Amino acid sequence: MAAKNPQSPNPLSNLDQWDDFIERRYKEGKSESEFRQYDAQANPRVAEFYRNNHEKQTVEYVLSKEKLYFGLTRGEKSIWEAAEYLNTLVDDSDPDTDLTQIEHLLQTSEAIRQDGHPRWMVLVGFIHDLGKCLCLYGEPQWGVVGDTFPVGCAWSDQVVFPQYFRTNPDANVPEFQTKYGMYQPNCGLENVHMSFGHDGYIAEVMKPYLSDEALYMLRFHSFYAWHRQGAYQHLENAKDKAMLEWVRKFNPYDLYSKGHSKPDLKQLKPYYDDLFAEFLPDKISW
């Protein structure tokens, strides 16, 4: 566990608060107006996080991060090693949470397993947030977690805190401000550059090994404007429309699996050893 040191804040410190914010936003039964109101009254740290995210996720920024990470030149690791790596820095500033990152991953995957979903979906549950290791590579939290959205075309007002896009430098680039921007109508979301974060990164890592359904769950799990709000349909192709139901099927496990009982890693490990071996080689490129 990382020592507490005010001089060098833990890069994963408070990381879970962004997921918690999304969870509270989408609590079942919340009306559209309550949902909007919640955003307006969000705590200042959350507002500041999204202000940074929306202001700094430009086309240029996204392309540079894709170039830096999508070549997967950060070495080879097994899934357990990647999970242990994410575990090296736990959120030691949050008194409400005594769960490690691995325990969070297991809660998601175990909830999926208990509902009788296919084994590949259990795997997705375990790996979906492993891309948060970007924080350990030195990326800022606003560039790793939170809602994602397409860059290079007009921002939808269905993205949380749309007002913060006003100070994004791309607001002054006319070709990025049309409905389709740098894209063709219905070009398909896989051909769209999404704001950079842990979703896109883990999807790239897993691309050689998993099905389209699994990769859509990974790549778009934080794209709430699309899978919850129905925005950006003008960029969707037939494949996106077919995959949407899988992304939606996964979402409740991401949002609501927290707070279940603490998973017993030792007891669960043999199941997960078999699961990883079924779909993935021992070591994969990160």
Rule CB under 5 A: which residues touch Fe ion? Answer: 129, 254
When the beta carbons of 131 and 181 are compared against Fe ion, the nearer one is 131
Strands of the chain (E only): list them. Answer: 76-77, 284-285
Angstrom distances, CA of residue 7 to CA of 12, 186, 266 = 15, 48, 35
Could you tell me the smallest distance in angstroms from the CB atom of residue 132 to Fe ion?
A: 7
Residue 240, amino acid: D
Could you tell me the smallest distance in angstroms from the CB atom of residue 145 to Fe ion?
A: 7
When the beta carbons of 91 and 129 are compared against Fe ion, the nearer one is 129
When the beta carbons of 183 and 222 are compared against Fe ion, the nearer one is 222
Could you tell me the smallest distance in angstroms from the CB atom of residue 201 to Fe ion?
A: 11
Q: Which candidate, 215, 193, 195, places its Cα nearest to that of 205?
A: 215
Cβ neighbours for 122, distance < 8 A, ≥ 6 positions apart = 109, 112, 113, 275
When the beta carbons of 153 and 202 are compared against Fe ion, the nearer one is 202
Could you tell me the smallest distance in angstroms from the CB atom of residue 171 to Fe ion?
A: 27
CA-CA distance, 228 to 245, in Å (whole number)? 11
Q: Which two tokens stand for residue 247?
A: 């992304």
When the beta carbons of 153 and 247 are compared against Fe ion, the nearer one is 247
* Strands 284-285 and 76-77, bridge-based pairing: antiparallel
Could you tell me the smallest distance in angstroms from the CB atom of residue 276 to Fe ion?
A: 18
